[in-house]
C-alpha cells in the first residue's frame, strides 16, 4: 500500500510533470511562431527588393529607348503615369501665349492648336500628349516659378492661365468643366511649390534628401529634353495690329 506521504509526493510529481509539459508545448508554439516570423521577413524584403529591381530595369530600358530615338519614344503616357498615377490627367485645349504676356483667350477653330490634348502633371512638370497612343509627349512645361489662375468662363470654356512671377501669361488652357479646371489648378500649384523647394535643396547640396519614386525621376529626365520642344511664343496681338495699321495710315499722311 502507498502511504499518505508517498501518495502526496506522487501527486506533486504528476502535477509538476503536467505543468512542465504545458510550458514545453507553449514554448514550442511560441518558438515556432517566432521562427515563422523570422523566416517571413526576409521573404517580404526579397520580394520588395526584386520588385524595385524590376522597376529600375524597366526605366533603364525606357531611358535607353528615349535617348536613342532622340526623345520620340520611350515615354508613353502609361510609363509616365507610373504605378502610383500622375498628379493630374485630363483633356484640355492649350495655347502658347504672347511673348510679352498678351492673351487673346481664343480656343475656337479647327486647327491642331485648338484641338483638345491630354494634359498630364507628373512631378513638377506638365506633359502634353496629342493622343493617348503617342510614344512620347509632344512637349513639357516646367511648373516651378509659375503661377496658375482660373478665369471666368467664356463660351462654356473654363480658362486657366499659367503666368510668370511678373504676371506675364505663358500658357492658356481651356477646360470643358470647372471641376477639372480646379483639379488642374490645385495640382499645378502644389507641384510648382515642390519644384521650387527641390531647387533650393539642390543649391544647398542636399540632393540626397530628395527621395523620389522611380517614375517621378524618369519623368523629370524626360522633361529636360521635352522642354526644348515647346512651341514658340506667338507674337503680341497688339503689336501685330499696330504693324498692320501703320502702313495703311501712312497713305493718309
Return phi, psi of residue 66, to 5°. Answer: -65, -45
Residue with the bigger pLDDT between 104 and 227: it is 227
Q: Do residues 119 and 92 touch, judged by C-beta distance below 8 A?
A: yes
Task: Give the total residue count for the chain.
Answer: 253
Q: Cell 515647346: give the residue.
A: 230
What is the pTM assigned to this prediction?
0.71
**Which sign does the torsion angle of CA 198, 124, 228, 76 carry?**
positive
Q: Is residue 112 very low, low, confident or very high in pLDDT (cuts 50, 70, 90)?
A: low
Q: CA torsion sign, 63 to 64 to 68 to 74?
A: negative
Tell me the pLDDT tens digit for each residue of 2-41.
454 544 544 554 555 445 544 444 434 444 445 544 455 5
Domain 77-237 grouped into CATH 2.160.10.10? no
Between 57 and 47, the more confident residue is 57
Domain ranges in the chain are: 1-68, 77-237
Q: Work out the average pLDDT over 77-104.
A: 85
Cell of residue 236, nine digits? 503680341
Amino acid at each position: 500500500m502507498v502511504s499518505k506521504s508517498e501518495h502526496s509526493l506522487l501527486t506533486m510529481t504528476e502535477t509538476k510533470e503536467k505543468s512542465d509539459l504545458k510550458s514545453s508545448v507553449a514554448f514550442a508554439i511560441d518558438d515556432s511562431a517566432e521562427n515563422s516570423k523570422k523566416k517571413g521577413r526576409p521573404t517580404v524584403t526579397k520580394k520588395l527588393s526584386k520588385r524595385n529591381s524590376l522597376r529600375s530595369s524597366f526605366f533603364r530600358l525606357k531611358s535607353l529607348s528615349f535617348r536613342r530615338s532622340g526623345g520620340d519614344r520611350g515615354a508613353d503616357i502609361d510609363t509616365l503615369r507610373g504605378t502610383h498615377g500622375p498628379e493630374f490627367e485630363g483633356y484640355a485645349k492649350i495655347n502658347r501665349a504672347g511673348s510679352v504676356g498678351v492673351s487673346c483667350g481664343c480656343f475656337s477653330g479647327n486647327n491642331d492648336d485648338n484641338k483638345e490634348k491630354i494634359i498630364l502633371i507628373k512631378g513638377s512638370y506638365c506633359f502634353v500628349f496629342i493622343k493617348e497612343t503617342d510614344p512620347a509627349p509632344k512637349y513639357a512645361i516646367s511648373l516651378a516659378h509659375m503661377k496658375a489662375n482660373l478665369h471666368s468662363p467664356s463660351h462654356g470654356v473654363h480658362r486657366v492661365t499659367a503666368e510668370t512671377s511678373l504676371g506675364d501669361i505663358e500658357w492658356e488652357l481651356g477646360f470643358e468643366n470647372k471641376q477639372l479646371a480646379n483639379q488642374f489648378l490645385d495640382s499645378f500649384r502644389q507641384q510648382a511649390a515642390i519644384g521650387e523647394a527641390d531647387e533650393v535643396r539642390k543649391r544647398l547640396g542636399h540632393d540626397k534628401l530628395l527621395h523620389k519614386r522611380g517614375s517621378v525621376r524618369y519623368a523629370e529626365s524626360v522633361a529636360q529634353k521635352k522642354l526644348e520642344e515647346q512651341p514658340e511664343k506667338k507674337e503680341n496681338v497688339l503689336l501685330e495690329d499696330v504693324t498692320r495699321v501703320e502702313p495703311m495710315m501712312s497713305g493718309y499722311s
